[in-house]
């Protein structure tokens, strides 16, 4: 796919996807959503990519949905809206299926769908200048698609308050709510994000994939079944070349050379 609303760059095993319509505050339009979905999926399929950074151009991370596209929905039939709605959820389903760690580097306002994108990423680092919020009710709509990720990040009671108040809040409050993991000075955001991505990229790619698999597969699993599943999954790790390499490198006091198998 040719990208027109995002930038895609790969360096040192790390893919950086940048929402790139700064004059519009990087809206999650239909085109942007499709391009973002494609870029994440392509990154996840590439064995050479060990981490994915998602950020925004200019002063915003993403201001959410495109208002002009919302207006176009007024004239569409219910079946068309249903099909387009299912397509639009593909992006947010990736959070539970992608096995390459995604890091949100929140450089500015992340509102509505942009806030949901932050919640979907496995780790989120925010600039102290960032603002976040579920602002949909101000426009007479509901944060339907992103609600599952928001409530998983902040919990039921906090999700309810954020949704009904439509409040725009600080990065520090987002950290207190567990919506972001870390808040850093604005001029250090890129450096800190890159440092984290490189750390993750330095680990066994197989172990990282198994970690995400273990986390998401057992998320709503019965407790006893979860133990059984994880015990089985552990055998994959025990029999992997990467574990043997990791143990040998530790004993020999050298850096491991991972093979991802």
* C-alpha dist (Å) from residue 112 to 21, 118, 154, 254: 17, 10, 15, 46
Look up tokens 């201001």; give the residue.
Answer: 63
CA 40 – CA 114 distance, rounded (Å): 16
Residue 106 main-chain phi, psi, to 5 deg: -85, 95
Active site residues: 136
Residue 62 main-chain phi, psi, to 5 deg: -165, 130
In the numeric block, which tokens belong to residue 210? 């198994």
Helix axes 147-154, 90-97, angle to 10 degrees: 40
* C-alpha dist (Å) from residue 254 to 48, 179, 250: 22, 37, 6
Across the chain, the runs of DSSP E, i.e. the strands, are: 6-11, 14-19, 51-56, 102-106, 110-111, 123-127, 131-133, 168-170, 182-184
Helix, strand, coil percentages, rounded to 5, for the chain? 55, 15, 30
């Amino acid at each position: 796919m040719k990208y027109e609303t995002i930038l895609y760059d790969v360096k040192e095993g790390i893919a950086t996807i940048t929402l790139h319509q700064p004059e519009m505050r990087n809206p999650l339009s239909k085109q942007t959503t499709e391009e973002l979905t494609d870029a994440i999926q392509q990154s996840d399929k590439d064995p050479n990519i060990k981490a994915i950074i998602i950020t925004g151009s200019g002063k915003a991370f993403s201001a959410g949905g495109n208002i002009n596209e919302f207006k176009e929905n007024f004239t569409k039939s219910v079946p068309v809206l249903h099909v387009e709605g299912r397509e639009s959820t593909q992006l947010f389903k990736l959070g539970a299926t992608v096995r390459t760690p995604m890091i949100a580097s929140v450089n500015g306002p992340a509102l509505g769908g942009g806030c949901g994108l932050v919640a979907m990423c496995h780790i989120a680092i925010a600039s102290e200048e960032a603002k976040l919020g579920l602002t949909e009710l101000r426009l007479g709509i509901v944060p339907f698609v992103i609600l599952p990720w928001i409530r998983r990040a902040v919990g039921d009671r906090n999700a309810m308050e954020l949704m009904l108040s439509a409040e725009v809040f600080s990065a520090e409050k987002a950290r207190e709510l567990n919506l972001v993991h870390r808040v850093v000075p604005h001029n250090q955001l890129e450096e800190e994000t890159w440092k984290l991505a490189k750390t993750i990229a330095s680990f066994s790619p197989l172990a990282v994939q198994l970690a995400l698999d273990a986390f998401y597969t057992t998320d709503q699993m019965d407790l006893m079944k979860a133990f059984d599943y994880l015990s089985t999954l552990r055998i994959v790790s025990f029999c992997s070349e990467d574990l043997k390499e990791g143990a040998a490198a530790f004993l020999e006091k050298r850096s491991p050379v991972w093979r991802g198998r």
